[in-house]
Amino acid sequence: MTQTPESLAVSPGDRVTINCKASSSASGVVSWYQQKPGQAPKLLIYYASTRPSGISDRFSGSGSGSDYTLTISSVETDDAGDYYCQQDKSYPLTVIQTSTKTCLCWSVQCHGCFLNSHPLAETATLEL
């Protein structure tokens, strides 16, 4: 999975789009997560376009095949953080890594996180 852009500097009220391209068809089984410093990833979207209960309708997902998009319709200061796309098709276990943490995820839920020193994941950082 490859995300673009890597970093975004935006203002409150802006419309934000983050793109994710899979190396092969993800068949719509793509999730999006938001992570803030010191916190575990939070699920925003699963199955490409479905929002879990409690997630603002400002967040929406779309896409098919190998191309997917996360859109924030009117960004707020509280939206600052790292955003990840995840393809759930290939393996039951997905590892999401940042520069300091590794989080283990099954299906559309992330579980335990632990510290690490070898980042691997593609991220999109939203700065306000």
Structure tokens at 77: 């200061």
In the prediction, which pLDDT does 33 show? 87
In the prediction, which pLDDT does 120 show? 41
**Over 70: is that where the pLDDT of 80 sits?**
yes
Q: Which fold has domain 2-90?
A: Immunoglobulin-like (2.60.40)
Q: Which residue has the higher pLDDT, 81 or 116?
A: 81
User: For residue range 82-119, what is the model confidence (pLDDT) as tens digits?
Assistant: 898 887 655 555 666 666 666 766 666 666 666 554 44
Give 51's DSSP letter: P
- pTM of the shown model: 0.69
Q: How many CB atoms lie within 10 A of CB 63?
A: 19
